[in-house]
């Protein structure tokens, strides 16, 4: 399934955007009732699941479970860094870049044949 090679990471990337929004987007609305925040976050996370589950199922035809998880974790960090910068104004630092580079290096070993 050649399309799985490209569609899987794309779906995982979009699903990570939704999950990051579900987990951290509410931090700008600290005055909102917790139950409301939980329900809204859950509804956003439902979209994430609707993307991540098919991505992992399709991706398992060409990637190992370890590779799928590694891909998802690297994307999660990338999405979070960009999200925290755009949404919270938290600029990435050199230490963020170095830490992220080390994680990407670890991922390289997992994908190495």
Domain locations in the chain as residue ranges: 2-111
User: Are the beta carbons of 107 and 74 closer than 8 angstroms?
Assistant: yes
pLDDT at 17 over 60: yes
pLDDT tens-place string over residues 68-99: 998 998 899 899 999 999 999 999 999 988 98
The token duo for 59 is 């991706």
What do you get for the CA distance between the two ends of the chain, in Å?
19
H helices of the chain, where? 2-24, 34-59, 65-88, 94-111
Residue-level pLDDT at 1: 53
pLDDT at 34 over 70: yes
pLDDT at 65 over 70: yes
The token duo for 75 is 């994307």
The token duo for 91 is 């600029």
Output phi, psi for 89, to 5 deg.
Answer: 75, 20
Percent of the chain with pLDDT over 90: 74
């Amino acid at each position: 399934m050649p399309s799985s090679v490209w569609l899987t990471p794309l779906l995982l990337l979009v699903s990570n955007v939704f999950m990051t929004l579900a987990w951290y987007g509410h931090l700008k609305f600290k005055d909102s009732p917790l139950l409301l925040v939980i329900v809204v976050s859950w509804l956003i996370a439902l979209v994430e699941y609707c993307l991540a589950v098919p991505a992992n199922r399709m991706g398992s035809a060409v990637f190992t479970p370890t590779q799928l998880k590694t891909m998802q974790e690297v994307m999660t960090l990338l999405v979070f860094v960009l999200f925290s910068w755009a949404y919270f104004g938290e600029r990435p630092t050199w230490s963020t870049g170095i830490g992220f580079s080390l994680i990407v290096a670890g991922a390289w070993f997992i994908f190495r044949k």
